[in-house]
Amino acid sequence: MKNMSTAEFLYLDKLKTDKYLEDIFEILHSNMSLIAPTGNSYKEDLEMWSSEIIPALDKEQRQIILMYVDNSLAGYFQYYINTDTNSFMMEEIQIKKEYQGTGLFSEFYKWLLKQLPKSIMYVEAFANKKNHKSQSILTHLGLECVGENKNGNSLYYKGEYADLLIKYK
């Protein structure tokens, strides 16, 4: 088990997004290519993902947090705060395989919840139907499966933000 006392969490500087995109995508691709392969080449997937993520980051409410262990990028977390519904949408959490199960996830959540607005009421997330590990994590976080996305390839989860706060105090 790696020592998580050297973990550091930093918000992505959106003015330097290009500097981090390939490293972030490499983590995403390495985790998801076996679970939900697209049939595309790595380069095609990178281009498609970049064409979606770059404009998505133009929204102030959407953030990416970079997770470092021993000054090495270990993962990232992308989220969106919907101020209209007071919801915290967990969009993407990806941790390199060698850091999974080390306590990084828990340490990150303890840090993250201190950064978020106090007005949040709900937590939401989608998990690919083939990604049983993500589904288990969302259930562990106290979210319930309440539907699916429009194209039917992901399940929609929702829970009370207060429950998440209690879990990671």
What is the per-residue pLDDT across 60-101, written as a single tens digit (0 to 9) for each?
999 999 999 999 999 999 999 999 999 999 999 999 999 998
Give pLDDT, residue 37. Answer: 75
Backbone angles phi, psi at 88, to 5 degrees: -105, 105
d(CA 146, CA 124): 10
Q: Residue 1 — very low, low, confident or very high, per pLDDT cuts 50/70/90?
A: very low
List, for residues 111-167, the tens digit of each pLDDT value: 999 999 999 999 999 999 988 988 999 999 999 999 999 998 999 999 999 999 998
